[in-house]
Structure 1
Amino acid sequence: MAEIRIRNTNERISGEENVKSFLEQQEVLYEHWNPGQLPASLQEKFILSDEEKQQILDTFDSEIRDLAGRRGYKTWDLIALSDATPNLNELLKKFEQVHTHTEDEVRAITAGKGIFIIKGSEDVGYFDVELEAGDVISVPENKAHFFTLMENRKIVAVRLFIETEGWIAHPYDDPSFQKA
């Protein structure tokens, strides 16, 4: 289940309803899908064949199509990252820069853990959303953020897009941002 850490105060927010309520106030969508419907053989697997990726997408097909229908997403794929991923450190450097998009950035975590660092309202500042299997988040367009892996450095996530070109980042220079 997702947990939030507000960076300015180190306050933690946990529990699905508390997390959902906080994120709604910050204009961030949060949902939870049932990760247990994924076959046990794929629940902790981070090196995936194309067939296994398709099996994960098929398992969550109704949830993906429901979210896509409600939010206007037109295409989706699956990303799997781990220490076995070629050039993982270079990829993470690209991810770990504060940026915005001209569309929502959506991740549905099916295995592993990840963290979104998001610029909240003026009274909140930056906050971390720690995600695990079953957590679904949509950071709205033009909201400054970045995504990275947590200490286990393993994640599998469905990504949904409006633009068929996929993930296009626009750098966001913010002198007030400090890596934690």
Structure 2
Amino acid sequence: MPDEPLSPWPRFTVAYLSGGDLPPDLARQFPQLIVPSAGITGIAAEDKLLLVTAVDGTELVQLGHHLYGPVCLDPSNGQVVDLVTNRGEVVRGPLMVNSSLDQFVQTTRAATELFPYHDADPDADTEAAADALRAQLEPIDPAAWQVDGYWDTFYWDVAIGDYSPDQFEPPPPPL
């Protein structure tokens, strides 16, 4: 079996998303949002803000997506939340990712800028690296670290070695 291609070295960038296609009340509330468009988290920005409905009927503003489904802003409380989909149908959520869009941007930026979390040595203490990472990220938004939440899962992924630097293309040399 051939080796899978490596992911690109994570870089943090933002996107400016227009709310012009949202219903008028939401378009006025969110004419444009600045959201992470790339980073270590694997959350990619949409081309524009979209309206989605959670299983519980909550209307959310989708700003991006990850492997399991949409990442949204809840207009009722300002939280960034995620949903899990199966074959295009929302099956779980919304669950909080961050308490606010600003904290989402800050946490994603910090998590990306702190990468790599350890060296590529197979004997690296990935649990200690995850603990050190959490100690730096958690103060940005302590409420976002709920058990089985987005950032808690990210922590455990780092702890088991899922974010080893050898899984990424090395960064380009400085100019």
- Say yes or no: TM over 0.5: no
Structure number with higher relative contact order (C-alpha < 8 Å, ≥ 6 residues apart)? 1
**Larger gyration radius, structure 1 or structure 2:** 2
**Which range, TM-score by smaller chain?**
under 0.3
**TM-score (normalizing by structure 2):** 0.26
Greater share of helix: 2
